[in-house]
Amino acid sequence: MSIEIIRDPLWNNIRLDPLSFELIDTPAFQRLRYVRQLGLAFLVYPGATHSRFEHALGTYHLARRTLTLFEEQEEFSAIGRDECQVVRIAALLHDIGHYPFSHALEEIGALHHEEVARPLISGGEVADILRRELGADAPERIVALIRGESDSPLQGLISGSIDLDKLDYLRRDAFMCGVSYGEIDVDRLINALIVLRDPETNRPGVGMIEKGLSALESLLFAKYQMYRNVYWHHAVRSATAMYKRVVADALDTGTLDAAALAAFTDEGLLHDLAGRSPTPLLRSLRERRLYKRAFECPAAHLAAGAAEWIADDRALTVAVENTLADELGLEAGELLLDYPEKTQMLGLDLLVQRPYGEVKRLTAAGWEGAINLPKISEEFYQSARWLRVYTAQRLAINPTKLIALASRPGQEVRARLKQGDSLLDW
């Protein structure tokens, strides 16, 4: 079996077996070369032009490294070579369904990229290769792993508390942005991973030795820092809000077909929109004339559940944006609301081997008096997530009135719009 070697700036040499190399050469995978890993972050961090292609290779590389280490463990003997190959390929293909500019379009209601990946893996050239090399059910097994629905004992490597995807993207994103926030002890984490038997079901699964929890803390801190300083940076979120509104408007007017979104590259989508609907908002985005902050407030200063309609109800959010713009003397599309989609800093459900051999499950409840990662994770999340209002020109908006508006339940806001009453004089 011949092995191809690709040079990578983060992991140096990435070794590819013939099956992986053949899959990489498919059009579906090659598209990832032209989908930026960090969406519009390159408008703030010029080095952030790396793609989903590099990240997919890096995740595959970490899967190979981890499975090689697992071979030394006694419990791993029950896991077959076939299962390992399926997991390696799942790591390679896990982002094949990503939209242009990364996750942004999922925030306006587009299908999740893991669901978009299903037909790309289960049909066409990719599926033909997988069935020929790994068996008739290989595409379905890989899709289940990517979606976190597999009963494979190695599911945790692809989707879970300590999946390898996180280890690559945090290190790679920090490296390419030129920041130190994403520095995590990847070697320590990988070497702390172990195949353990669940004490309740006796089924094998991916776990960790307790000494590795300090490295898991470093992962949590790195993720928080990257969200606060890169992923949710105010200017990155301004560009993202502008992009979301451009695409949402094109979908609403029928200029763009939602079913075609996943086939575009980053520049391909912007070029297509410029040809079909050259709006002032799109022109501002392409020329990096980003909207400015007129208001901002951290989630920690809002009541629990406040403003979630901005993240969850796209139609209501657009209606509120247009009404507020009119009240403030702006044109439709010149005021944008942004409240990043709710996410977890660290979802915990992990088997941990204690120093004397006991296996215990670490969940969001933590270990009383010992492990406070869940509490720290929630506090980090509340600190990193901000509600913001962006406008095409600088202006100040009464923060008390905006917080009052954002804190109202979505149904009350919708009723207010229907009545035609002012949103800033509740």
Report which of 87, 85, 94 is spatially closest to residue 37, judged by C-alpha positions: 94
Q: Put the strands of the sheet holding 386-391 in their side by side order.
A: 292-298, 386-391, 335-338
Report d(CA 179, CA 46) in Å as an integer. 12
Check pLDDT > 70 for residue 131.
Answer: yes
Bridge partner list, 348:
none
Phi, psi of 219 (to 5 degrees): -65, -45
User: Where does 263-313 have alpha helices with state H?
Assistant: 266-276, 280-286, 308-312
Q: Are strands 12-16 and 386-391 parallel, antiparallel or unpaired?
A: unpaired
pLDDT at 313: 93
pLDDT at 349: 81
Predicted model pTM: 0.93
Q: What are the structural domains of the chain?
A: 4-190+210-232 (1.10.3210.10)
pLDDT in tens, 375-410: 677 777 778 899 999 999 999 899 999 999 999 999
pLDDT in tens, 350-384: 899 998 889 988 876 666 545 566 667 777 777 88
Averaging pLDDT over each range in 4-8, 75-79, 201-205, 345-349, which range is the top one? 4-8
Q: Is pLDDT larger for residue 144 or for residue 215?
A: 144
Q: Give the model's confidence band at 341: pLDDT under 50 very low, under 70 low, under 90 confident, else very high.
A: confident
> Which range is least confidently modeled, 36-40, 103-107, 318-322, 413-417?
103-107
Q: Are 193 and 207 in contact (CB under 8 A)?
A: yes
